Chain A
Amino acid sequence: GENVEQHPSTLSVQEGDSAVIKCTYSDSASNYFPWYKQELGKGPQLIIDIRSNVGEKKDQRIAVTLNKTAKHFSLHITETQPEDSAVYFCAAQGNTPLVFGKGTRLSVIA
């Protein structure tokens, strides 16, 4: 089945700097890759997703890139703000339900 690895597990950045979170997946049939943000006491919320027919997608300060050959995808957050502090999860889906990475705890230091 699918296996998703996510790195790093924790990340601290200064406010205004960029943050990058990387994920790899194992199933070449996977073709949908969402990213979720989870704040304390809340459920994961979708922030951006990408499908396998595109290599990059951007939404304001957030961008996701996908390399299907290497089976990896990344989340980029630019101009980080304190409210970006949360746990971020990547996930992959193909012929099976979504499989999630273990999460990255992002801390943005003011």
Chain B
Amino acid sequence: DAGVIQSPRHEVTEMGQEVTLRCKPISGHDYLFWYRQTMMRGLELLIYFNNNVPIDDSGMPEDRFSAKMPNASFSTLKIQPSEPRDSAVYFCASTYRGSNQPQHFGDGTRLSIL
């Protein structure tokens, strides 16, 4: 049974470059979440989708961040332009029916902006 799949696992790039993180949720799940994890701030919810529609993006830190979900099996998180303070581990998670159901996490993308 395939879990949540994220790519790439690691990304190193220079500041100012565009970064695109990808996520494939578990088949049949209708909610998808993007999180950012840092030592200082822990796990922060950036945005979540229900049936491919963005529901709450209040956690997106700046206009440099954008997320899309063109279909039920694919989502992207884009940072343009990237800055060193964006360095973190980014996780995608999915669940079925959303409320009071366990979220299943991918193994994350470790992003380093030089």
Interface residues of A (CB under 8 A from B): 31-32, 34, 36, 41-46, 49, 51, 89, 93, 97-103
Contact = CB atoms under 8 A, between A and B. Distances in A.
Given A97-B56, A100-B42, A102-B42, A32 B107 contact: no
Contact of A97 (B4, B48, B91, B107): B48
Contacts, number: 42
Nearest to B98: A97
B100 A32 contact: yes
B45 A43 contact: no
A49 B48 contact: no
Nearest to A4: B42
B84 interface: no
- B interface, size bucket: 10 to 19
A46 B43 contact: no
Interface string B83-114: 00000000101000001111111111000000
A36 B104 CA distance: 10
